[in-house]
Chain A
Amino acid sequence: MVDIPHEASESAPPAEIEEMELPHAHGWWSTYVFSQDAKVIAVQYAATALAIGAVALVLSWLIRMQLGFPGVFTFIDAERYYQFITMHGMIMVVYLLTALFLGGFGNYLIPLMVGARDMVFPYANMLSYWIYLLAVIVLVASFFVPGGPTGAGWTLYPPQAILSNTPGQQGGIVLMLVSLILFIAGFTMGGLNYTVTVLQARTRGMTLMRMPLTVWGIFVATIMALLAFPALFVAAVMMLFDKLLGTSFFMPTLVEFGEQMSYGGGSPILFQHLFWFFGHPEVYIVALPAFGIVSDLISTHARRNIFGYRMMVWAIVIIGALSFIVWAHHMYVSGMNPYFGFFFATTTLIIAVPTAIKVYNWVLTLWRGDIHFTPPMLFALAFIVTFVNGGLSGLFLGNVVVDVPLSDTMFVVAHFHMVMGVAPILVIFGAIYHWYPKVTGRMLDDTMAKFHFWVTFLGAYLIFFPMHYIGLMGAPRRYFESSDIMFMPESAIGLNAFISIMAFIVGFAQIVFVFNLLWSWKHGKDAGSNPWRATSLEWQTPQTPPGHGNWGKELPVVYRWAYDYSVPGAAEDFIPQNQPATVTHEAPA
């Protein structure tokens, strides 16, 4: 056993740099509103993301009302339907998942887990949140402009997105693009913070290979976001010019209502390339933090060290790198050189290798572990099965010949909702149940949590499993009305109604979750500083919730990796990272 990264040490190297200069809050406004404290910014990010996520949830109900009971709810016309699906998709992917994982969990956990007092640039961190909030406000504003929000589909493909018969063509699309540009600017400020904090502001003894996998996941996802968002930024700027200035970057020569438009010579496919060069890494920008968090949840709640830590780290890095060369698998039906299809199918399927390594390692971590079915653990386990399910349908869609008939059917909708909708959201819930005691000092109510879990988990399967079946029958996605289609049998229409009812039940179950969050803030059981008996640094803070500067007078010193659970011969079944190795209890391996 040479070269194991998790050997504990008795001492740590001396500090290389001085303590950081912390900005100090003066008064209520700079403590809770214009705060430069990463922990407050994290809660602001999370609250904003969950609030806009609730809007997306309601939009999904409206979509399901139309799909399950076509013609019953007459206020949903085709235009509104398209606006609902567009806004639902964009909010979920960008404004909820990206913001919550990176802005929310990233801000809270990175400084605490690497043993820093705060993010390295607190002022830029604060700006990051306020620009994100502005982006959300601009996005929401598009509901109230003439014509409403854009209805071009969340991918915003031109020329559709700016043609005059697309809903939201007047103001909605402009506000959407402006909002995305703002989001990217805001994210960049935060992302630079997360990256530099992980690289340069770790505490003594915290090598990269001792970091909890949560930090690894968020760190790699942040770097990916810093490299992938530029493509979306450029695409948004160019489409904005096409819309406002009449340039023709993406607009080919078109005839609309019998009249030739002034556009000509642009390439719609270029937009698709730019969009998916962002869009595919985006899947992993959401998934990698989820991978990291799940690794920590499983290890903590199964009281067992993570299996193959080094492999897990490299898998995260390799998935991150590979995800930049697979984007055109979203464009198999857009038309491309067959050799490109071959290339992108191959790279896509190669990603299954590091991903499978991760899944095996999670399972092997659980194997013969002392599994506690706490709410975070339930959600983590649910994530693994959901991710495997969604990943397997991804193998179908990654192959060109299988994808071509399945493309633009409900099968695709079912696939990506399983793999990047339900799966990461299960992790978000698990992570909130896990870290809420640290954020507030109180436990969330267990009964409510378990009710929330079972309804959400089973309900999500009842929603999305039948959707695969409907998709395989050929039901197209994005269609306003599919009940009159000849090949749709009666049973499929009944299934659609069933899905819609389940969607309502799952949606309403979230009220229990929100109630639990609010109620437990004041009335929850006192959590103590380390309710889960976890090893990583955030549970070793002198105060709970952690105070300004996180660590009191002295920074913690790290002597071991984050996964010393059930170490033979140790007094407790966990050894915190900041406990030095003692020569005496070193058990023979």
Chain B
Amino acid sequence: MSDTGTTQPHAAPTLEPGLKGIVDDWSSDQRSFKTASWGKVMMWVFLLSDTFIFGTFLLSYMTARMSTTIPWPNASEVFALEIAGAHFPLLLIAIMTFVLITSSGTMAMAVNYGYRRDKKRTTVLMLITAFFGAMFVGMQAFEWTKLIQEGVRPWGNPFGAEQFGASFFMITGFHGTHVSIGVIFLLIIARKVWKGDFDTGKPGFMTGRKGRYEMVEIMGLYWHFVDLVWVFIFAFFYLW
């Protein structure tokens, strides 16, 4: 390594326009993505794989919905709340969506402050993100409880096709698990930021790798993904 001087800037190769340029760029020396670290590329590839999982879940739900002969329950009625005698369709889901999307905003801010080495603001923003995430999971638990009390089960429900309950618990459960795992890792990483582990490069407990502020961003990628998936679940399950 020493003979070349790793810090010496390397002139970017000139690329031909069109498809050939794209191929040459991707297949270039040492790294295909010049600005991305290993961890970031890994998270992107993982999210691509996870996209296929959620995509398959949603496609399966749509197929089940189309192939069943019993009418599908009206989601906006099932997920309505009665508050002070007034009838609000999808009220809780709207709040949940709002909370989760807000948490994406705070996450983005945390990433920004992380790169400015602003320990305090990064930690606080990550904690707020985790709080919103936990709030989302809490509201989901409330929703599950309400539906279970109304007699919705994975194997049947009083409103219509039984695949409604099955798809609902499976998809929101799988997404909720993602959010919960995200909250746990947000807390772990927020603690690391607060303790200065990323300033000192303290090795991780499991992997033994040096801590870097980039982990905040990688966490952010995951969090935004979970958020984006929710938008699709919201659109295809609740609004359709």
| B208 x A196 contact (CB < 8 A) | no
Q: Find the B residue at minimum CB distance from A252.
A: B67
| A16 x B10 contact (CB < 8 A) | yes
A274 to B53, CA, bound (A): 11
| A15 x B1 contact (CB < 8 A) | yes
- Asked, given contacts A123-B207, A237-B170, A248-B166, whether A267 binds B64 with beta carbons under 8 Å apart, the answer is yes
A15 to B170, CA, bound (A): 47
Partner of B36, one of A14, A15, A200, A274: A200
Q: Find the A residue at minimum CB distance from B51.
A: A230
Stretch at the interface among A201-209, A443-451, A568-576: A201-209
Partner of A238, one of B38, B48, B60: B60
Partner of B49, one of A227, A264, A277, A554: A227
Is residue B14 contacting chain A, with contact meaning CB distance below 8 A? Answer: no
Partner of A16, one of B31, B55, B209: B31
Q: Find the A residue at minimum CB distance from B161.
A: A265
- Asked, given contacts A21-B209, A233-B53, whether A270 binds B67 with beta carbons under 8 Å apart, the answer is yes
Is residue A316 contacting chain B, with contact meaning CB distance below 8 A? Answer: no
Query: Residues of A within 8 Å of B, CB-based: how many?
Result: 59
A262 to B33, CA, bound (A): 53
| B33 x A199 contact (CB < 8 A) | yes
Can you list, as one digit per residue, whether each of B186-226 has a CB less than 8 Å from chain A (1) or not (0)? 00000000000000000000111110000000000000000
Residues of chain B in range 37-68 having any CB-CB distance to chain A below 8 Å: 37-38, 41-42, 45-46, 48-50, 52-53, 55-57, 60, 63-64, 67-68
**B residues near A120, Cβ cutoff 8 Å:** 38, 42
Is residue A70 contacting chain B, with contact meaning CB distance below 8 A? Answer: no
**Nearest Cβ in chain B — how far from A269, in angstroms?**
8
**Nearest Cβ in chain A — how far from B54, in angstroms?**
8
A247 to B50, CA, bound (A): 24
Is residue B6 contacting chain A, with contact meaning CB distance below 8 A? Answer: yes
- Asked, given contacts A120-B38, A123-B207, A264-B162, whether A227 binds B29 with beta carbons under 8 Å apart, the answer is no
| B154 x A267 contact (CB < 8 A) | no
Partner of B27, one of A196, A208, A265, A273: A208
Is residue A246 contacting chain B, with contact meaning CB distance below 8 A? Answer: yes
**A residues near B60, Cβ cutoff 8 Å:** 234, 238, 249, 270, 274
Is residue A66 contacting chain B, with contact meaning CB distance below 8 A? Answer: no
- Asked, given contacts A16-B31, A208-B26, whether A227 binds B52 with beta carbons under 8 Å apart, the answer is yes
**A residues near B55, Cβ cutoff 8 Å:** 230
**B residues near A13, Cβ cutoff 8 Å:** 10, 29-30
| B6 x A18 contact (CB < 8 A) | yes
Is residue A141 contacting chain B, with contact meaning CB distance below 8 A? Answer: no
A461 to B50, CA, bound (A): 41
Is residue B32 contacting chain A, with contact meaning CB distance below 8 A? Answer: yes
Is residue A231 contacting chain B, with contact meaning CB distance below 8 A? Answer: yes
Can you list, as one digit per residue, whether each of A180-218 has a CB less than 8 Å from chain B (1) or not (0)? 000000001001110110011111111111000000000
Is residue B123 contacting chain A, with contact meaning CB distance below 8 A? Answer: no
A18 to B5, CA, bound (A): 10
Is residue B231 contacting chain A, with contact meaning CB distance below 8 A? Answer: no
Can you list, as one digit per residue, whether each of A242-257 has a CB less than 8 Å from chain B (1) or not (0)? 0001111100000000
Is residue A555 contacting chain B, with contact meaning CB distance below 8 A? Answer: yes
Residues of chain B in range 158-182 having any CB-CB distance to chain A below 8 Å: 161-163, 165-166, 170, 174
**B residues near A21, Cβ cutoff 8 Å:** 208-210
| B68 x A121 contact (CB < 8 A) | no
**A residues near B165, Cβ cutoff 8 Å:** 247
| B155 x A262 contact (CB < 8 A) | yes
| A14 x B166 contact (CB < 8 A) | no
Is residue B149 contacting chain A, with contact meaning CB distance below 8 A? Answer: no
| B64 x A200 contact (CB < 8 A) | no
**A residues near B37, Cβ cutoff 8 Å:** 200
- Name the interface size band of chain B: 35 or more
A14 to B10, CA, bound (A): 7
Partner of B68, one of A205, A207, A265, A274: A265
Residues of chain A in range 1-41 having any CB-CB distance to chain B below 8 Å: 12-19, 21, 23
Is residue B28 contacting chain A, with contact meaning CB distance below 8 A? Answer: yes
Is residue A241 contacting chain B, with contact meaning CB distance below 8 A? Answer: yes
Is residue B91 contacting chain A, with contact meaning CB distance below 8 A? Answer: no
**B residues near A227, Cβ cutoff 8 Å:** 48-49, 52
**Nearest Cβ in chain B — how far from A186, in angstroms?**
13
A229 to B69, CA, bound (A): 30
Residues of chain B in range 123-148 having any CB-CB distance to chain A below 8 Å: none
Partner of B154, one of A14, A196, A241, A265: A241
A341 to B29, CA, bound (A): 43
- Asked, given contacts A14-B4, A245-B155, whether A238 binds B170 with beta carbons under 8 Å apart, the answer is yes
**A residues near B161, Cβ cutoff 8 Å:** 265
| A249 x B166 contact (CB < 8 A) | yes
Residues of chain A in range 37-66 having any CB-CB distance to chain B below 8 Å: none
**Nearest Cβ in chain A — how far from B101, in angstroms?**
25
**A residues near B5, Cβ cutoff 8 Å:** 14
With most chain B CB atoms within 10 A of its CB, the pick from A14, A206, A209, A270 is A14
**Nearest Cβ in chain A — how far from B61, in angstroms?**
9
With most chain A CB atoms within 10 A of its CB, the pick from B8, B55, B208 is B208
**Nearest Cβ in chain A — how far from B167, in angstroms?**
8
**Nearest Cβ in chain A — how far from B133, in angstroms?**
23
Is residue A226 contacting chain B, with contact meaning CB distance below 8 A? Answer: yes
| A192 x B46 contact (CB < 8 A) | yes
**A residues near B70, Cβ cutoff 8 Å:** 264-265
**A residues near B163, Cβ cutoff 8 Å:** 247-249, 265-266
| B30 x A123 contact (CB < 8 A) | no
**A residues near B69, Cβ cutoff 8 Å:** 265
Residues of chain A in range 107-141 having any CB-CB distance to chain B below 8 Å: 120-124
| A248 x B162 contact (CB < 8 A) | yes
With most chain B CB atoms within 10 A of its CB, the pick from A196, A199, A226 is A196
With most chain A CB atoms within 10 A of its CB, the pick from B67, B165, B174 is B67
Can you list, as one digit per residue, whether each of A552-566 has a CB less than 8 Å from chain B (1) or not (0)? 001100000000000
A238 to B60, CA, bound (A): 9
**B residues near A200, Cβ cutoff 8 Å:** 30-33, 36-38, 41
A389 to B210, CA, bound (A): 52
| B208 x A121 contact (CB < 8 A) | no
**Nearest Cβ in chain A — how far from B14, in angstroms?**
14
| A246 x B42 contact (CB < 8 A) | no
**B residues near A245, Cβ cutoff 8 Å:** 154-155, 166
**Which residues does B use to contact A, with CB under 8 Å?**
1, 4-6, 8, 10, 26-34, 36-38, 41-42, 45-46, 48-50, 52-53, 55-57, 60, 63-64, 67-70, 154-155, 161-163, 165-166, 170, 174, 206-210
- The 6 sampled A-B contact pairs (Cβ below 8 Å) are A18-B6, A202-B31, A206-B29, A227-B49, A249-B163, A249-B166
Q: A200-B32, A227-B49 are in contact. List 16 more A-B contacts (CB 8 A).
A: A13-B30, A16-B10, A195-B41, A195-B42, A195-B45, A201-B31, A202-B29, A227-B48, A231-B52, A231-B56, A233-B53, A246-B155, A247-B163, A247-B165, A273-B63, A554-B1
The 5 closest A-B pairs by CB, nearest first: A208-B27, A14-B4, A230-B52, A247-B166, A265-B68
